Amino acid sequence: MAENEADTKQQRAKIERSLTREQCYLCIMRKNEKPPKQTKTPDELRIDHHDYLLDLERRGILFGAGPFRDGNGWAEGHGIGMIVIRAKDREEAEATAFQEPFTKAGWHLMEVVPWMRNEGTVNIQIRFADGVLEVDSRRYGLTQQNQKS
């Protein structure tokens, strides 16, 4: 029995060493039922929210983001949506998360939960001859930009 336990511990240690871990944080947004009086309209905040996400994406902080919904509508009981960010620690994650415009304006409440990504895949294919970029199941057309001499 002790030999099996030792083998199991060795196998587990080998698996843990092989994992490519990445510290991320789940930023779960819920509706604030009593938001403060607003100085911006929902449309203005949505534009700010979009710009905020683009900035995080361009800086390599954003892992993913989106609402809790599918073709059947909103998923009940889970909040409004989630942003998954990369950060070195919880303090940095909270500083980033609480800058989200709807949260900063008091419309949303933000919960920051640590999440360690251990496994998963992202498939990227660039077909230069076809002018196509594929990321997982999505396809994008590539355009050539003029280069200045």
For each of the chain's 149 residues, which pLDDT tens digit applies? 567 888 887 877 776 666 567 889 999 999 999 989 988 999 999 999 999 999 999 998 999 999 988 888 777 766 789 999 999 999 999 999 999 999 999 999 999 999 988 777 777 888 877 888 888 777 888 887 766 65
Burial status of residue 41 (CB atoms within 10 A of its CB: 0-12, 13-18, 19 or more)? exposed
Is residue 90 within a helix (H) or strand (E), and if so which, with residue range?
helix 90-97
In a domain, 1, yes or no: no
In a domain, 133, yes or no: no
Question: Domain tally for the chain?
Answer: 1
CATH number, position 42? 3.30.70.1060
In a domain, 13, yes or no: no
Copy the structure tokens of residue 127.
């077909």
In a domain, 3, yes or no: no
- CA geometry: angle at 121 spanning 63 and 8, to 5°? 110
Give backbone dihedrals phi and psi of 81, rounded to 5 degrees, phi first. -175, -175
Classify 22 as helix, strand or coil: strand
In terms of pTM, does the model score above 0.75? no
Range of the domain at 61: 20-120
In a domain, 149, yes or no: no
Measured distance CA(102)–CA(82) in Å, rounded: 12
